[in-house]
Amino acid sequence: MKRILVTGARGLVGRHTLPLLLDKGFEVHGVGRQPRPADVDSSVRWHTCNLLDSATHPELIHTVKPTHLLHLAWYAVPGKYWTSEQNVYWTQATLSLARQFGEGGGHRLVAAGTCAEYDWSHELLSENETPLKPMSPYAICKNATRELLSLYCEQHAVSFAWGRIFFVYGPHEPEKKLISSVIRSLKEGKKAACTEGRQIRDFIYVDDAACLFAALVDGDFRGSVNVCSGTGVSIREIVENIARQFNREDLIQWGAIPTPENDPPRLVGDSQTLQSRLSWKPGVDLEEGIKKTIDFYLNPG
């Protein structure tokens, strides 16, 4: 039987992978610091533990006996994760968990990376062509984790893939992230402070990101791949789309937030590997994704 352990199972992407993995025939085990969320299928077996405590790893792996590991857990508090020392701790915890997984007979490991591993002076970020140049503690630790996992898995016959996540949005997005924060402000009739919104980014709806990770862990692709839409859209276009749906364009305050110094004008993922190697493309376009996200926050039940 295919038995999978999903870390970060309460997170934005993780919780959306669970039903997809059940549909693929996995016995699904989720792990998180807190108890099972109410909206998680009862078929998912839940384990509550602190993965930063490596002493919990042997018992967790012994109990679950996973054949597959989807590792999505990491420190991700908006505004803090870029520079937090927690990144170092998560690198250590990830390597410990991977070692226990390998020693316990696991054979397929997929983990989440970040587009921040790339050199952001390049506007199209490609797995095969763009050099890596992680600049923040978050990106440096993610990249180091990838290198060390790749080395370990190669030495211990564990199949390994690394998904570099771009700009994921959708239901359960942290409140301080762009799309959810604008939706909440307009929902409450409050002004939404924004930059000038000229930056172009690659946004991918959370269901699509989850679908890709589920396909990766159930497949045999090895190496790094972008978790992206392959399409760039300006921040201004996204915010204007949300404002139109609320009919509250008057509440958007352009330029109220200074554009961060050295903020890249364009960050878009190359989706050629997704298309050619995985025969995959996003199923939810931006218009539909924003509508779904707005509906979630207007009708949370």
Alpha helix positions (H), the chain: 14-23, 57-64, 86-103, 137-155, 178-187, 206-217, 235-246, 272-278, 286-298
pLDDT of 67 over the 90 cut:
yes
Report domain extents, the chain: 3-167+204-227, 170-202+231-267+284-298
pLDDT of residue 289: 96
User: What is 161-219 written as a DSSP string?
Assistant: EEEEE-EEESTT--TTSHHHHHHHHHHTT--EE------EE-EEEHHHHHHHHHHHHTS
Predicted local distance difference test score (pLDDT) of residue 300: 72
The pLDDT of 238-247, averaged and rounded, is 95
pLDDT tens for 126-180 read 999 999 999 999 999 999 999 999 999 999 999 999 999 999 999 999 888 899 9
* Per-residue pLDDT, 301: 63
Q: Which CATH architecture has domain 170-202+231-267+284-298?
A: Alpha-Beta Complex (3.90)
The whole-number pLDDT of residue 176 equals 84
> Taken in order 204, 210, 212, 213, is the CA torsion positive or negative?
positive
pLDDT of residue 124: 96
Burial 60-97 (b: 16+ CB within 10 A, else e): bbeebebbbbbbbbbbbeeeebeebebbeebbebbbbb
Q: CB within 8 A of 254, min separation 6: which ones? A: 194, 195, 196, 197, 236
Which superfamily does CATH assign the domain made up of 3-167+204-227 to? Answer: NAD(P)-binding Rossmann-like Domain (3.40.50.720)
Q: How many CB atoms lie within 10 A of CB 193?
A: 15
First to last CA, the chain: 34
- 48-151-95 Cα angle (round to 5): 20
Mean pLDDT of 211-226: 98
Q: What is the pLDDT of residue 123?
A: 84
pTM score over 0.85: yes
